[in-house]
Structure 1
Amino acid sequence: MQKSAIGLLRRIGIIEGISYLILLFIAMPLKYFADFPILVQIFGMAHGILFVSFCLMLLIVWFRHRWSFMRVLWAFIASLLPFGTFLLDIRLRKE
């Protein structure tokens, strides 16, 4: 059961990372350069829900697996950076 928590964190992280990239590199440019803001509303909401889900799952993994504070902090910072959750996934996959 403990491995499934990390697996779920990885899956949420990948989906959250994809939504972040779509928001940054597709929706935002379309909003500002093509006056097409609806995608920011859609992907912004989706990304927000996924980000909160990622943070909650990170807390669950922290307590179940007794991760150090620095490891949790690194994972959280990775979720704030473009491509960060993909790097986190690579690191977690090695375990």
Structure 2
Amino acid sequence: MVIPWPSPDDHSWAAEPDRPGPADEDIRLAAAVARLLGDAPTVRHQSVTVSVQNRVVILTGIVADPQARRAAGELAWDVPDVVDVCNALRLAEPRRPRR
């Protein structure tokens, strides 16, 4: 019986290098979107939660006005490798005067 031994230059037997999996990619995208939202003056002080599933960004929370909602969605689309954005941000209820 002969057992082949790979030569030192033959790397076909080696395990594949670690490649980022889908979960790693989603974490990277969520961090990139959160960073952009944190830097944007329109969205910075709003209550926005960023999550990502299969490269789809999901924005949830409450924002003060429609401009902040629109800006958050547009910023999420600006991140490379994002395939879709679900903008589920809600507008804050207007405050009622106290009696």
TM-score normalised by length of structure 1: 0.30
Answer 1 or 2: which has greater helix percent.
Answer: 1
Answer 1 or 2: which has greater strand percent.
Answer: 2
Higher relative contact order (CA 8 A, sep 6+): 1
Q: Which has the larger radius of gyration?
A: 2
TM-score normalised by length of structure 2: 0.29
